[in-house]
A and B are shown apart, each in its own frame.
Chain A
């Protein structure tokens, strides 16, 4: 298989159509590359300039004396075939075509797209795009997302890779992940995918050391079985989670008991995800939470969940929701009860949920989590940390983190509240404990860990 390193870690980059004019996409891309830590050589290409942002500008790609590993094309669509041909002559292996105006615009655009496809094949150029935002890689600092960082944040380096058919989705996701503090390894928006699509990227990411989680935004795939094979390969190595958009088609509404009419594409996609070992995120928000939970925690070995709370009501709400998501709120064993009964005040409720009430202390949290998760009675825990009890201090965060480490089981923090509570979110997450601000999101995150745990790896 072709190695896609040329895209993610190129030695030198040319930006074709670079410009200093404010608001030009090519200018933003060049500036982003300049401002970021990209270490390789940068070559702006534009016959109208001698110099752009202090860099020497070349009239065409063929005039660059050195080798170029990646070309980013940002020029009007009708001019792309000629320039791509020049890239071929210059023996550039990897090209990102940001320009739009291809298949998505109609018949003429489709003809242009066919032309670039043929040129790519002829010269053996691998192409991402056209009509795409391209790549963001915080490790090599390749960033072709043509939106200034003031408008759209860039996440730090982390373990989540995102593949998105949609540009707007990729952009908003990038921004939110940056805001949420979830790091990424790579983000690719491949647009019309004239050459490289999700299947090849999945195979690449499967063996990418920096990636632990792959999140997909999918509207449709061209080669269904190819996609299933690539995803199966990837899901044996990494957590793969997908959000399918475009779920409701006219066909599904047909109320006839006829397989074809009832199937609807979405049902088949669900079946495909299942075959491929992909965990499905049913909503946009769930995909975001999946990125977070999979990058923070390892999969759960089973569905038996322990709930620890200092607020009875929230504990009950969590327990209720667990039933909806196939999580087993199994009661404490007599062993566990015996172990913790001696060390706790008599008015604490020793069931599942364990309710430490408003008298809770930091150490009691640590004690019950450690004792209950010890052995093989529970697979994971949802720990509610409401900051009301006067005895609780910031040390609670260290105590829970230590309990998580000792027991080796995934712990999800459900911390609900306003300003103060949110100010503690970052402290938990710095210690590797993911915080979700509602019972619903905490329980869904737990169920994602369980679903992932059920996939054969």
Chain B
């Protein structure tokens, strides 16, 4: 099982190379199979660079699904794993909130059935069983390799902030911790990070660490064309990347 938890660190150059080696292994495996990174691989990739995700594992039948759910704890989310499906929600490939064994079995069958009906040709590589994360303020951390300027990093607040208000901040990588705090301050929604109307201030230090990690990943692993952690739930202590998508090329 992947605990999805990592310890925060400030690394030296050789340590960084060590960490990036693990990331490269994951990337190279997908490249050799000539397919994009699957969600559990993308999550293992960001775990390897120190970014927390909910605990997860892959089930190949409903029995395994139940076993995994039991060991990571309820409630759980079930998500189809397939290189042929990009928008899982649109095809009924994600079901949230199973609270017990019965519901896990039911959701498992339902997902397989949905996919078989809607995209029969899709290759299913299992179902991701993941601990349902406690909602909090949503942020987006992205990385993009620009054709002219090379690797960049993006920070945005989730939902309408990004989609409608375009409240985003970009930098060329590598970024320092100081630069990541500058990016946070640049967002119009920055006061939300500091806590407002009695809510607790959120863990900007963890957010900064995650941003530096993504910046390092984009700088060091050139095979990654794009990465999106969307959404990331930011808590008063720590954060968790609920979804991760990586495009290679």
Contacts and interface: CB of A to CB of B under 8 A. Distances in A.
A275 B163 CA distance: 26
Interface residues of B, number: 25
Q: Give chain A's interface secondary structure class.
A: helix
Nearest to A259: B142
Interface stretch (B128-136, B166-174, B199-207): B166-174
A271 B170 contact: yes
Interface stretch (B53-61, B69-77, B145-153): B145-153
Contacts of B227: 259
Chain A interface size band reads 20 to 34
Given A267-B170, A275-B172, A259 B163 contact: no
A201 B64 CA distance: 64
B148 A259 contact: no
Nearest to B141: A259
A270 B172 CA distance: 9
A37 interface: no
Interface string B153-186: 0101010001110101011100000000000000
B231 to A, nearest CB: 9
A450 to B, nearest CB: 15
B65 to A, nearest CB: 29
A421 to B, nearest CB: 38
A10 B162 CA distance: 54
Contacts, number: 67
Interface string A214-231: 000000111111001000
Contact of A260 (B140, B149, B164, B226): B226
Contacts of A269: 149
A118 to B, nearest CB: 25
Nearest to B150: A225
B48 interface: no
B144 interface: yes
B230 A260 contact: no
B107 interface: no
A257 B227 CA distance: 12
Contacts of B142: 259
Given A224-B150, A272-B149, A260 B170 contact: no
A343 interface: no
A223 B156 CA distance: 27
B198 to A, nearest CB: 26
Contacts of A224: 146, 148-150
Contacts of B158: 257
Contact of A257 (B143, B144, B172, B230): B230
Given A257-B156, A272-B172, 17 more contacts: A221-B148, A222-B148, A224-B149, A224-B150, A228-B149, A228-B172, A255-B163, A257-B230, A263-B170, A265-B146, A267-B168, A268-B148, A268-B170, A270-B170, A271-B170, A271-B171, A275-B171
30 contacts: A224-B146, A225-B150, A228-B172, A255-B163, A255-B164, A256-B163, A257-B140, A259-B140, A259-B144, A259-B154, A259-B228, A260-B226, A260-B247, A262-B154, A262-B162, A262-B166, A263-B144, A263-B146, A263-B152, A263-B170, A265-B148, A267-B170, A268-B146, A268-B148, A268-B172, A269-B149, A271-B152, A271-B170, A274-B172, A275-B172
